[in-house]
Homo-oligomer: A and B are copies of this chain.
């Protein structure tokens, strides 16, 4: 196997909070210079991709928006592949622009070709959730497309429900299973591989989350490297998940990759 591809997690791998992981910029540049196909995977949808590009640039990591693979990007790709029309969006304003140019359903429509659910936050109310429910019930084949399944997040004033609970509410109400485009769901990894034109067994995921990155990628058929940065804790290695390698940080990835160059992984 010559062709290989890499999927990088962002938070905890390239940076921790606002701090770059030492050597991360060099590691990314190494893959860029060799034109090894890669994408940066993140579940973050709270800020636009342009903001992530700026954040990385400030750390000396030069990437374009197209290198960032987020749930909305994956969802758009999925909707296009499945030729969905009259798509009903239940996503925050900032996320709407990722779907510009698609055939979107108007607010008053009684049916839809797909229902896309994101982290609406304060904008959720009964009428809104019930509208998504009715659209899903109106079309037997209308898919529920979820921008991840995150349970909650920690805001300054306390915990806040994310998109996952609302997806579960609609799955239960409708009896449908959502297409989840976000880690740790396999369709998200598959969508990233399609974008790169790589097969799962040719690709490597690099992450700090033993469950959401490593286990999830392996379940989707990828190899996965765990880094000892970000949310990594030594106890993570006792959970029954076996990373294909454990590195001190992403800075070690080029050397690890090189030692395996030309060697069929596996």
Residue A211 at the B interface, CB < 8 A? no
For window 124-169 of A, CB contacts with B under 8 Å fall at: 124-127, 129-130, 133-134, 137, 151-152, 158-161, 164-166, 168-169
Q: Contacts A125-B124, A168-B168 given: A130-B173 contact, CB under 8 Å?
A: no
Q: How far is the CA of A134 from the CA of B165 in the complex (A)?
A: 13
B120, B124, B133: which contacts A161 (Cβ < 8 A)?
A: B133
B124, B134, B159, B170: which contacts A126 (Cβ < 8 A)?
A: B124
Residue A123 at the B interface, CB < 8 A? yes
Q: How large is the interface on A (under 10, 10 to 19, 20 to 34, 35 or more residues)?
A: 20 to 34
- Nearest Cβ on chain B to A159's Cβ, whole angstroms: 6
- Give the chain B neighbours of A158 by CB distance below 8 A: 134
Chain multiplicity (copies) = 2
Tell me the dominant secondary structure on chain A's binding face: helix
- Give the chain B neighbours of A152 by CB distance below 8 A: 133, 173
Residue A122 at the B interface, CB < 8 A? yes
Residue A26 at the B interface, CB < 8 A? no
- B172–A168 contact, CB under 8 A? yes
- B126–A122 contact, CB under 8 A? yes
- A159–B172 contact, CB under 8 A? no
- B168–A164 contact, CB under 8 A? no
Chain B residue nearest to A175 (CB atoms) is B151
Residue A106 at the B interface, CB < 8 A? no
Q: How far is the CA of A37 from the CA of B243 in the complex (A)?
A: 61
Which residue of A121, A129, A165, A166 has the most chain B CB atoms within 10 A of its CB atom? Answer: A165
* Residues 165-191 of chain A, each 1 if its beta carbon lies under 8 Å from chain B, else 0: 110111111000000000000000000
Q: How far is the CA of A168 from the CA of B171 in the complex (A)?
A: 9
B137, B151, B159, B160: which contacts A159 (Cβ < 8 A)?
A: B137
Top 5 A-B residue pairs of the complex, sorted by shortest distance between their CB atoms:
A165-B169, A168-B172, A169-B169, A165-B173, A124-B126
A-B contact pairs, 19 of them (CB 8 A): A120-B126, A122-B126, A123-B126, A124-B129, A125-B125, A125-B126, A129-B161, A130-B161, A133-B152, A134-B159, A137-B159, A151-B173, A161-B169, A161-B173, A164-B172, A164-B173, A165-B169, A165-B173, A168-B169
